[in-house]
Every structure is written in structure tokens, then in C-alpha cells.
Amino acid sequence: MGVQAIYPGTFDPPTNGHLDLVTRGARLFEHLTIAILSNPVKNPLFTVDERVEMLQEATHQLENVSVETFDGLMVDFARQKNASAVLRGIRAISDYEYEFQMALMNRRLAPEIETVFLQPAGRYSFVSSRMVKEVFSFGGDVSGLVPANVIKRLKRQVKRSGSSA
């Protein structure tokens, strides 16, 4: 039997960097559950339901990928899903220190679960949700960095808030 994995994050919003990782993970694992942290410390632009929808729309062609939300400890959610791997992305050395600390803390909490790091295609190595929101809010072009459905939602979001995001 293949490995069950989860890919945790805030995905506010999902980017093509996230999707690049999901595609790679879907090839590696029997099943990959994208796990949206529903109670993040950061104040999100999109609701959890909107993020679920955006990720479902963008991954509907991947049969072994599903989207769920979770709260609390990531390792508890991983255990609940019978996952023995946690997928995380490393864009640059700057991601490494935080990811390394988190992986070791999670290993202490759940020694049976391994964190697996993947690198995105080089063209996505600078893409983060925060940068996408920032650039978009000042009228910059983010096409090619996020899926088309996310661009639509970003535009709607700006209208909804009556000003820039």
C-alpha cells in the first residue's frame, strides 16, 4: 500500500507554487490531502470555505488529491488521516530554518510521521501568498503566479472590501 500524505498550509490564497507542489506530491503519494489550517494566527483575506473551493477547483483533475480543513495540532490531523508523511515546500534557504524547526518539533510529537520537502519549479521559487496579495492590492499583474480562478476571486474580493485588498 502506498503512502498517505497531508500538505498543510494556510493557502490564503493558493498559488501556482502550492499547485506545483501538489502535482509533485500526487505523483509520489497514494493519496494527498491538502489540509487548510482553519484558525491561523494571520488574519486571512479569504474565508476557509473560499480557500477550500479555490483548491478544489484547481485540483479537480488530480484524482488522488482531496481538500480538507483542520484546527489544532497538525500531527493530530495527520494521524486522523492515517498519514505517514507531511509534505512541505522549500522555496529558498530562507524557508529552511523555520521548516527545519517545525519538522523536528513534529517528529518529537509524532515520531512515526516523516516530513517530506519538495522544491517547486524554479519559476515559482519566489511566489508566496503574501507577495501575491501585496502585488495584487497595488494593481500589479499576478497572472501566471496563481490559478485563473484565484484571480477572479481576488478581483471580487477587492470589490467586496470596497478598496484594495
Ligand X SMILES: Nc1ncnc2c1ncn2[C@@H]1O[C@H](COP(=O)(O)OP(=O)(O)OP(=O)(O)O)[C@@H](O)[C@H]1O
| Residue numbers annotated as active site | 18, 42, 91, 129
51 binding ligand X? (CB under 6 A): no
Q: For ligand X, which residue of 17, 22, 67, 147 counts as binding (CB under 6 A)?
A: 17
Nearer to ligand X, 12 or 23 (CB): 12
* Percentages of the chain per state (helix, strand, coil), in multiples of 5: 45, 20, 35
Half-sphere exposure of 142 (CA within 13 A, CB side): 30
Q: Quote the least distance from Cβ 147 to ligand X, whole Å.
A: 13
46 neighbors 14 (Cβ within 8 angstroms): no
| Residues 105, 27: Cα–Cα separation, whole Å | 27
Instruction: Give the amino acid at 62.
Output: L
CA-based nearest residue to 52, from 36, 74, 31: 36
19 binding ligand X? (CB under 6 A): no
Q: Quote the least distance from Cβ 15 to ligand X, whole Å.
A: 6
Question: Segment 100-139, which members bind ligand X (CB under 6 A)?
Answer: 120, 124, 127-130
Q: Quote the least distance from Cβ 32 to ligand X, whole Å.
A: 13
Q: Which residues bind ligand X (CB under 6 A)?
A: 9-12, 15, 17-18, 21, 88-89, 91, 95, 120, 124, 127-130
